[in-house]
Amino acid sequence: MATLACKQAELPEYPGYFFTESGEVYSYRHTSGTPRYNQPARKLSGRIREDGYMRYCIRRADGKFVYKKGHQLILLAFRGAAAPGQLCRHLDGNPLNNRLDNLAWGTPLENAADTLLHGTQSRGDTHGKSVLTESDVRSIRKLREIGLSYQKIANRYGVDHKTIHNAVNRVTWKHI
């Protein structure tokens, strides 16, 4: 392995690669696919996915290339596999910070709580599929209070009556 100031770990299922506690991925592999341990390892740059996570194209022990998220590789190398139903959490909310001290296996509920803590949760106006605004929801609730039907309100806002029902009854838009 290359001499680095931080701890390193390997994964048997990905021979010729090693991972650092600072969140970096290195390869001894040559373009031919054969690991060359007598040469210096090279740091892989990876690519940022559309969802904001870093991913790497690496070769498995069987020779097949796969894309893997960097944070999952780091946790797997240093902490072992996740328990069933667990996923990788970024403790600071930054999907590009793959340092080991920023990663932990956790439940989806813990991960959701993290998004609230970091302010990174998509809800309300910031949710990509939202058709209403917070202002709309406040107005809709007032219209319902004065007796307008779900269908009439839905027609006014160009949405389904179920959308109005859910917003009024706080099935959705619970935060306002």
Domain that holds residue 91: 8-118
Does any domain span residue 45?
yes
CA–chain centroid gap for 140, Å, is 33
Predicted TM-score (pTM) above 0.75: no
How large is the average pLDDT for residues 149-172? 92
Q: Please, which contacts does 166-172 make with residues 24 or more away whose CB atoms are closer than 8 Å? A: 167/132, 167/137, 167/140, 167/141, 168/140, 168/141, 168/144
State whether 59 and 144 are in the same domain: no
Does any domain span residue 176?
no
Residue 1: per-residue pLDDT: 45
Does any domain span residue 174?
no
State whether 71 and 108 are in the same domain: yes
Residue 156 phi/psi, 5° resolution? -65, -35
Does any domain span residue 175?
no
pLDDT in tens, 96-144: 999 999 999 999 999 989 888 887 766 677 666 778 888 898 999 999 9
pLDDT in tens, 2-38: 455 679 999 999 998 999 999 999 998 766 666 677 7
Q: Give the model's confidence band at 172: pLDDT under 50 very low, under 70 low, under 90 confident, else very high.
A: confident
State whether 134 and 113 are in the same domain: no
Does any domain span residue 101?
yes
CATH, residue 84: 3.90.75.20
State whether 114 and 139 are in the same domain: no
State whether 71 and 14 are in the same domain: yes
Split into its structural domains, the chain has a count of: 2
CA distance 3 to 151: 68
Does any domain span residue 148?
yes
Does any domain span residue 154?
yes
Does any domain span residue 3?
no
Element (H, E) at 56: strand 54-59
Residue 30: per-residue pLDDT: 65
SS3 20: strand
Give the pair of three-digit tokens for residue 139. 């107005």
pLDDT in tens, 41-79: 889 999 999 889 999 999 998 989 999 999 999 999 999
